[in-house]
Amino acid sequence: MQPNAARLLAEKVVRELFRIAQAYGKEHPFSFDDILNDLAVMLEHDALQLVSLKFYRPDATRAVLAEYNYALHAGAPQFHLDHAQGIGIVPLSPPFEMGLVVQRDILGGVYRGRLRLNWGDAPQYTRHAGFEHQDGNTAARTGGRASKQVFMDDSLRRAGQVKFFAAARQYGFITGVDGVDVFFHATNVSGFQPCTGQRVTFLPLVTPKGIQAQDVRPA
């Protein structure tokens, strides 16, 4: 990749990484410019494969609760409908910590001299059964080179009751145990037809349009 294009793409990804960290009240241990420089160098050498921002429990299990993955690639991949129109934030209960993991091709160290940070081996994060939500918003902003996937651990699942479901319009609302109504779309329903009053569980995703229920299942 050309140096200017690599830097522009890296900057778009790093800005989103910092916005997500800010939403969770966390700070990256390294500066914006240093991370930007290193990701741009890796992209320039076609060595960067995946950037992952992980939020995990600070205990012996180090179980990952939510992670935001950016797969770097060329071409025009297929994406799910981007109904969130922005960054989706998974609500987390404290305590949790944040870690940045980069998967790359070392290429025999040919670009090591241009890196500012010492990128070591990735820590052994665990991952439980959960749900992945993908959107094309990041791809649209990066010319189709970066896709974003949000992973949510199943322990974040919440209970609620279907307030109504308009089958013809393919959407409805779930009233959570806290009394808050949460929007859901038919594409986020897993293998059943919702009906008014039905008890369900879901994973919450906070978007610029409000809270949206993902992976809705019968209770």
CB 102 within 8 A of CB 51: yes
Beta strands in 105-198 (DSSP E): 130-135, 146-153, 158-166, 171-176, 181-185
| Helix, strand or coil, per DSSP, at residue 13 | helix
What pLDDT is attached to residue 210?
84
**DSSP code at position 89:** B
What pLDDT is attached to residue 107?
96
The residues near 202 (Cβ < 8 Å, ≥ 6 apart) are 157, 158, 160, 174, 182, 184, 188, 213, 214, 215, 216, 217
Please, what is the average pLDDT of the chain? 88
CB 101 within 8 A of CB 52: yes
The residues near 191 (Cβ < 8 Å, ≥ 6 apart) are 217
Q: What is the dihedral of CA 15, 187, 189, 154, to 10 degrees?
A: -20
CATH of domain 157-218: 2.40.50.140
∠ CA 45-47-52, nearest 5°, is 135
Q: What is the mean pLDDT of each run of 10 residues along the chain (219 residues)?
A: 91 93 95 98 94 93 91 60 63 94 94 95 74 72 76 93 95 95 92 94 88 93
Same fold, 3-155 and 157-218: no
What pLDDT is attached to residue 75?
57
The residues near 73 (Cβ < 8 Å, ≥ 6 apart) are 145, 146, 147
Which helix H or strand E contains 18, and what residues bound it? helix 3-23
Domains of the chain, residue spans: 3-155, 157-218
What pLDDT is attached to residue 80?
44
The CB density around residue 205, as the number of other CB atoms within 10 Å, is 24
What pLDDT is attached to residue 113?
97
Give domain 3-155's CATH architecture.
2-Layer Sandwich (3.30)
The residues near 170 (Cβ < 8 Å, ≥ 6 apart) are 185, 186, 187
